[in-house]
Amino acid sequence: MPPVNVIWKGHSRSVEARLRLLDKLHRLARQSDSYLRPRERPVLTVVGQDRPAPRPNVHRIHDVHKGEVLVSTEIGLHAGTLIARAEEAGLSIRSAPDGASYIALDEVHLRGLDFRLFDPRGLYPENDRMSFVFIDCPQHHFLDGRLVAAASNGETAVLSCPSIRLKSYLEDWTDCLFAWIRFFHMGDFWWHRHEELQGYNDYRGVFETVQTERGTAVAEEATFDAVLSTFVQHAEHSRCETQRTA
């Protein structure tokens, strides 16, 4: 099967809700890291040669970037709406050579989590991370609480739509994780794998049943435990298969 690029978008207006979600996702990030660490090798650097330090497997972000910040209008479901709100706020819009549009800021506060998702095959080292980083920008409510992936281009911070590349591994599980996020934490959370919100209706029915039987708080915790347990099962199976065929 060919690989698939999974993208996701979301907007959480409550700081408390963001922190609750990040606490849960940090458990997933630590579990993924526990599989990654035994496989890592020391980074060798030639004497006198500068080399940037590798990104940590789990990166908890709580940063303020001052200077040019470019925010992709694709972080929202309706890019035109973000452009209109930005223009109303007096912000400039930049156009990239590929036609993409960016909202220009001179400062942004970011808070969230960015982590490598374990895949024993290591197929896509440049696109194997999950980003749940929120813009903290209450002065511009149309941007505040939106999910982004943060990168840099020289002195410029570039905030874009999060994505990851998968192939025959954790694809269905990703639908389950994202459905859990949408149901319990972020009602407008959106993703696209082969189709929009893939699998959500099925998972929603399961979550509703558990919620009705056990209450929201217990259902949220119990179903996330199931999401995490399923990740472990997939990771163990894939690791064994990779070792067997090596």
In whole angstroms, give the CA distance from residue 91 to residue 239. Answer: 48
pLDDT at 39: 57
Structure tokens at 139: 């002065």
SS3 171: helix
DSSP 52-115: PPPPPSEEEEEEEEEEEEEEEGGGSS-HHHHHHHHHHTT--EEE-TTS-EEEEEEEEEEEEEEE
Q: For the chain (length 246 residues), average pLDDT per consecutive 10?
A: 95 95 98 84 49 83 95 96 97 92 96 97 96 96 97 92 97 98 97 97 97 98 98 96 87
- Contact between 149 and 65 under an 8 Å Cβ cutoff? The reply is no
Confidence at residue 44, expressed as pLDDT on a 0 to 100 scale? 44
Give the list of residues 6+ apart from residue 161 with CB closer than 8 angstroms, or none.
Answer: 7, 8, 9, 72, 74, 75, 148, 149
Give the pLDDT score at 245.
87
Residue holding tokens 């001179």?
106
Which pLDDT does position 42 carry in this prediction? 46
Q: Please state the pTM of the whole predicted model.
A: 0.92
pLDDT tens column, 139-164: 999 999 999 999 998 889 999 999 99
